[in-house]
Amino acid sequence: MTQFETEMQDVKSEVIRMWQLVLSQLLKSREAMLNFDKDLAREVIAREKRVNALELKIDSDCENIFALYCPVAIDLRFLLAALKINTNLERIGDIADGISRYIVDSPAKFNREILESTQLLQMFEGSISILTDAQAAFEFENTLLARTIFSRDDMLDEINKNADNNISKYILENLKNINEALFVLSIIRKLERVGDQSKNIAEEIIFYVEAKVLKHQ
């Protein structure tokens, strides 16, 4: 294996490590919400620095390869995709951090009724599933799997679309829990963005493997 090939493989490994870190952040934010575990939420917030540091390292490594080797064709597409995927993963890390901050700020555990009536739990599971499969699609260059993300994101969009009505109904029946309802609504909004970021990632995987640009289509 040449030095160029080694460095390209190192970038791929780093992106996968970034993926695993961000996925862990999202899983822990979900667990912290379910168990009202403020210590775990604070751990997610503290680990956000690791996400940011790894993002900067991946960016730097890609830039070095551009400068040293002037890659072309699929190698160029891979590096361009890696840079954009890296950015999207960092934003998902920000989302996990934001959700954890809501948990730290919340005065009481979220009522199970509101988690179920708003489909927040289903939304969390969908977000985690999409992000997990996006990683597999990247790792194994599986564009068929990447394409499933577009339709699966529709479920997240639908839950987000219905959130205002569901939250309003809950508030009318539980006037004492307005703050809780607003926290839940904010988490739903953030998880909808996980779907958007994952769709962006899927587009980059298809661009890298098939040389097809799907953006704005």
Written as six digits, the tokens of 111 are 């009522």
- pLDDT band, residue 175 (cuts 50/70/90): confident
Is 215 inside a domain boundary?
Answer: no
Residue 5 pLDDT > 90: yes
In a domain, 216, yes or no: no
- What is the pLDDT averaged over residues 41-53? 98
pLDDT for position 212: 80
Asked whether residue 76 is assigned to any structural domain, the reply reads yes
95-145 residue pLDDT tens:
999 999 999 999 999 988 899 999 999 999 999 999 999 999 999 999 999
Domain coverage including residue 28: 3-210
183 assigned to some structural domain: yes
Mean residue pLDDT of the chain comes to 95
Give dist(CA 190, CA 14) in Å, integer: 25
Contact 44, 24 (CB under 8 A): no
State what percent of residues in the chain have pLDDT above 70.
99
Asked whether residue 147 is domain-assigned, the answer is yes
Structural domains counted in the chain: 1
Note the pLDDT of residue 216. Answer: 58
| Domain CATH code at residue 103 | 1.20.58.220
**CA of residue 24 relative to chain centroid, distance:** 10
Burial of 114 (0-12, 13-18, 19+ CB in 10 A): buried
Domain presence at residue 82: yes
Q: Locate 20 and state its tokens.
A: 């695993």
Please indicate, yes or no, if residue 57 is contained in any of the structural domains.
Answer: yes
Backbone angles phi, psi at 39, to 5 degrees: -65, -40
Classify residue 30: in a domain, yes or no. Answer: yes
CA count, 13 A, side-chain hemisphere, 132? 9
